[in-house]
Amino acid sequence: MSGPPPAVSVVIPTRDRAVLLREAVASALAQTLAPAEVIVVDDGSSEDIRAATAGFGSQVRYLRREGGGQSAARNFGAEAAAGEWIAMLDSDDLWEPAKLERQLALHRAAPDLGWSVTDCLVVDELGRPHRGAQGFERVFAAASEHGGPVERLLAAHLDRLAVLTAAGERIAYVGDAFELLFRGNLALPSSALVHRDAWHQVRGFDASFHSATDTEFFHRLAAVRPGGFLLDRLTRYRLGHGSQVSVPARSVEKIRNAMRSAEVAAALRAPLPPSARAAFADGRRRLLRRLAWTHLANFEPGPATAALAEYRAAGGRWDPATLAWRALALLPVPVLRGLHAVKRAVPRPGR
């Protein structure tokens, strides 16, 4: 990419969240490399989102649709976008000022990439960093289960690239992420930059998915275009604020949808070569283990036992954890609840 920087369209879907939305829009407009436009898609809000965006001027476009969900809202905004690149930003997240500048530097250094993501800083509603693990390791099970820094995981599948930016050399990992993503998702929409051709090639998000939407989209994208992972924490990902709802049943749906998304992605490269078949099978076993534990944590011993049976049928081996889960799944639900209460009452080290 030579000459002037390519135009970037920022798409921000929202349903209410007017106060947080204003912060998100302000962070997009404060970029050191300014976007060509910011498109706010109001997904049937009860709050006056048009008024919340009016003070930003003509650089912010307001679009409204009467519900349909976040994925459909993202697609709606992307269809209206005029830029060569589409950057997604959820209305409760924020960008660091150099986010777009450094990502476009990555794409100049590796022009074959159809998409990229950055690492993130996990923050609370007030924008304060959470304690403990951060970034990829905090957000994605694929990174935390690896048992080491995410850089080691990325290096096992992708090429290391030093990217020259105004802040000096920054490290990215680039290439074919298809097999890597069978381990699980490693991409936040708010950190993503997607070339419009790649977006249209995969036809955006699948709005029929109501959970694991990110997992499905990025794996499908990786099946058709190489991507990049910039290690700089340039996205502030809000976690745990009042408008986020955690429903135990949704965790089960999310895992099942992740398995379904792996099948969708695999079909795009069928027949799979041996290495991809092995990655697919390993990823399925990992998800079935997680599904068994989730059912057990939800006090559903029957489904937990069924998930363990699926795990074994998929080639999974018994280990101390899965053997313990199998034993716990034989207990009556009141006993499981009692054991859970005892565990919660035991003080954790450092508290």
Which mean pLDDT values do the consecutive 10-residue runs of the chain (351 residues) have?
A: 79 95 97 97 95 92 93 96 97 97 97 98 91 92 87 96 95 98 96 98 93 95 98 93 55 94 96 97 96 95 96 96 96 90 65 40
Q: Is residue 22 part of a domain?
A: yes
Nearest to 261 by CA among 209, 225, 310: 209
Give residue 148's pLDDT. Answer: 81
The number of domains in the chain is 2
Q: 282 is in which domain, residue-wise?
A: 271-345
Evaluate whether 338 touches 329 at the Cβ level (below 8 Å): no
Backbone angles phi, psi at 342, to 5 degrees: -65, -45
Residues 233 and 305 in one domain: no
Give the H or E element holding residue 238: strand 227-238
Distance of alpha carbon 284 from alpha carbon 258, whole angstroms: 9
Distance of alpha carbon 291 from alpha carbon 297, whole angstroms: 10
Structure tokens at 142: 């694929």
Looking at 197, 221, 238, the residue that finishes a domain is: 238
Evaluate whether 194 touches 114 at the Cβ level (below 8 Å): yes
Any idea what the CATH number is for the domain that residue 93 is in?
A: 3.90.550.10
Which residue do the tokens 């993130």 mark?
Answer: 120
Residues 204 and 276 in one domain: no
Nearest to 153 by CA among 175, 183, 176, 133: 183
Q: How many CB atoms lie within 10 A of CB 248?
A: 12
Structure tokens at 248: 């135990």
Give residue 229's pLDDT. Answer: 98
Distance of alpha carbon 60 from alpha carbon 91, whole angstroms: 14
Give residue 247's pLDDT. Answer: 52
Residues 229 and 290 in one domain: no
Give residue 245's pLDDT. Answer: 45
What distances in angstroms separate CA 114 from CA 121, 155, 329, one per listed residue?
Answer: 24, 19, 45
* Strand duo 193-195 + 115-123: pairing: antiparallel
Residues 338 and 191 in one domain: no
Give the distance from CA 217 to its chain's centroid: 9
Q: Is residue 185 part of a domain?
A: yes
Looking at 218, 238, 258, the residue that finishes a domain is: 238
| One-letter amino acid of 41 | V
What distances in angstroms separate CA 134 from CA 123, 131, 137, 138, 140, one per listed residue?
Answer: 9, 8, 6, 5, 10
Structure tokens at 57: 């001027």
* Exposed / middle / buried, residue 271 (Cβ in 10 Å: 0-12, 13-18, 19+): exposed
Residues 34 and 160 in one domain: yes
Residues 214 and 279 in one domain: no
Q: Is residue 188 part of a domain?
A: yes
**Helix, strand, coil percentages for the chain (3-state, nearest 5):** 45, 20, 35
Evaluate whether 196 touches 84 at the Cβ level (below 8 Å): yes
State pTM to two decimals: 0.91
Q: Ramachandran region of residue 30, left (φ > 0), alpha (ψ -120 to 50) or beta?
A: alpha
Q: Is residue 40 part of a domain?
A: yes
Residues 295 and 163 in one domain: no
- Bridge partners, residue 227, by sequence: 115, 175
For residue 95, give the 3-state DSSP assignment.
strand
Give residue 42's pLDDT. Answer: 96
